[in-house]
Amino acid sequence: MSFPLLTATAALPAIGAIATAAVPAARRTAAKWLALAVSLATLVLAGIVFARFEPGGDRYQLTESHAWIKDFGVRYELGVDGIGVALLALTALLIPFVILAGWHDADPLETNSSRWRPTQGFFALILMVEAMVILSFTATDVFLFYILFEAMLIPMYFLIGGFGDRAHAGSDENAAAQRSYAAVKFLLYNLAGGLIMLAAVIGLYVVAGSFSLSEIAEARANGSLDMATSTERWLFLGFFFAFAVKAPLWPLHTWLPNAMGEATTPVAVLITAVVDKVGTFAMLRFCLQLFPEASKWATPVILVLALISIVYGALLAVGQRDIKRLIAYASISHFGFIVLGIFAMTSQGQSGATLYMVNHGISTAALMLVAGFLITRRGSRLIADYGGVQKVAPVLAGTFLIGGLATLSLPGLAPFVSEFLVLVGAFSAYPVAGIIATVGIVLAALYVLVLYQRTMTGPVREGIGSMPDLKVRELAVALPLIALLIFLGVFPKPLTEVVNPAVQHTMHDVQKKDPQPEVEAAK
């Protein structure tokens, strides 16, 4: 194609971010509508990308390649495979809902009229994150990806540290301190991972003489690139460490509950449903493709870390008293499932892991955003402050329940398909790992159903009786996400037919084949 469709899809929200930030201070509402219009236009472009992608075609499609830093062989190279196009579509889909859900989150605080929250900056930062994430899912030059991987930390830092949860609006000093701590912790963890990755990126260039995925793959195929075993392992560890922080994988996960708890609810969704997917996506695109032998070498340890994440995250979710932190720990458990599927090194596992990234994004967005509407009404994130909500706000309770059932992977909802494939892939290659992972399913049912019971059922607690049900704007956020969870739960083919060919390419990279089922010969 002569038209740079991928660049346009990323450039539109970037330009929209600048335009939104430039809206005069007094035109707060105009900035919101501009940001929403830009996000919807980006969704249209992402839909065109998805429609133009041919599942049976070349591995990377809609490619673009231009010289950038010639002296170092750095190029502006873009292209999408089935995994990248699915996650690009997820990102473009969720941003309009994030903007709608956060419509009033950056308005001036009524409790302190002297303090003004820059509404334009809030929505501009969201659009800038969208642009960087889209480029991350399409970058096929390692150095370009690294720049985007690190640059997205800047707007995320300001979104976490500059715009706090409305539940803390009454204690400004304490809330500001907690936000600052969460934002700095997020930044330091991810910067540490990024600096280690930078050393590995430089090392890769020294060894391969290129940052281009296509050139490195070609050099491997014709035998001109032969990494020493120790070199490949060290480079793999540098990349994987950064991706494990971003994902996040135990024990590098501790920044996530703080960041999600202290950020506004839409920003919490942006973190776990969009930004964190860059980490698991990069494991598939870069770790397995660039370092296939080292990936197989590290698999046993990574599977153990994934299993710990699954069980540990679920156990901590069970014991949480804070709604948002419960969802954060549940996400840590779910990311463990994704990493398990990736490194099970089976086609079912990797297809399931990719679907899990998409479906987790949708289900977590649905649950977290509805939880945010609940928290805004009550002014508290503590589970103990709720009870009997379904009697006064049945639509809110119903949407909350469906989001929770999707989180525990109920059959008929989208996450079930992905979790089932991950477990099938894990069982076929590593039966013990598959058995341990099922513990996470049981615990998920426990923390979701207990959360619903304590908040939505029982007698109506004091302060709940006057709680309004979901309004039109909030329904416009919740209902489409729930409809999508149901649609993809009963008809996942639009995603599987795009993802499966890309997974076969990844399996070829690591030279793995699916284990053959053991059956007795017919007598």
Q: Which pLDDT score, from 0 to 100, does residue 418 have?
A: 92
User: For 207-239, what is each residue's pLDDT tens digit?
Assistant: 888 888 888 888 877 777 778 888 889 999 999
Can you tell me the distance from the alpha carbon of 14 to that of 131, in angstroms, rounded to the nearest whole number? Answer: 5
Looking at residue 263, what DSSP letter applies? Answer: B
State residue 170's pLDDT score: 44
**Cis preceding linkage at 248, omega within 30:** yes
Burial class (CB in 10 A: 0-12, 13-18, 19+), 110: exposed
CA distance 437 to 441: 7
Distance CA 296, CA 249 (A): 18
pLDDT at residue number 471: 92
Among 276, 98, 271, 315, smallest CA distance to 182 is for: 271
What is the pLDDT, as a whole number, of residue 113? 41
Contacts of 272 (CB under 8 A, 6+ apart): 256, 260, 327, 328, 331, 364, 368
Give 229's contacts (C-beta < 8 A, 6+ positions apart): 293, 294
Domain boundaries, the chain: 308-513
Distant-in-sequence, close-in-space partners of 360: CB < 8 Å, separation ≥ 6: 273, 331, 334, 335, 338, 415, 418
CA distance 486 to 477: 15
Identify any residues that bridge with 237 across adjacent strands, giving them in sequence order.
Answer: none
Q: From CA 491, how far away is CA 228, in angstroms rounded? A: 45
pTM score: 0.91
The CB-side HSE value for 306 (13 A sphere, CA atoms) comes to 29
Low-confidence ranges of the chain (pLDDT < 70): 1, 108-117, 165-173, 175, 517-523
Q: What integer pLDDT is reported at residue 309 of this predicted model?
A: 94
Q: How far is the CA of 442 from the CAs of 313, 344, 363, in angstroms?
A: 13, 21, 18
Count CB neighbours of 225 within 10 A: 16
Q: How many CA atoms lie within 13 A of 178 on its CB side?
A: 18
**CA gap 43, 3 in Å, rounded:** 17
d(CA 357, CA 386): 31
Cβ-contact 183, 157 below 8 angstroms: yes
DSSP, collapsed to helix, strand or coil, labels residue 186 as helix
The first and second tokens of residue 246, run together, are: 């971003």
CA gap 194, 26 in Å, rounded: 39
Q: Which residues contact 478 (CB under 8 A, 6 or more apart)?
A: 366, 369, 370, 373, 399, 403, 470
CB 355 within 8 A of CB 495: yes
Nearest in space to 193 (alpha carbons), one of 139, 237, 254: 237
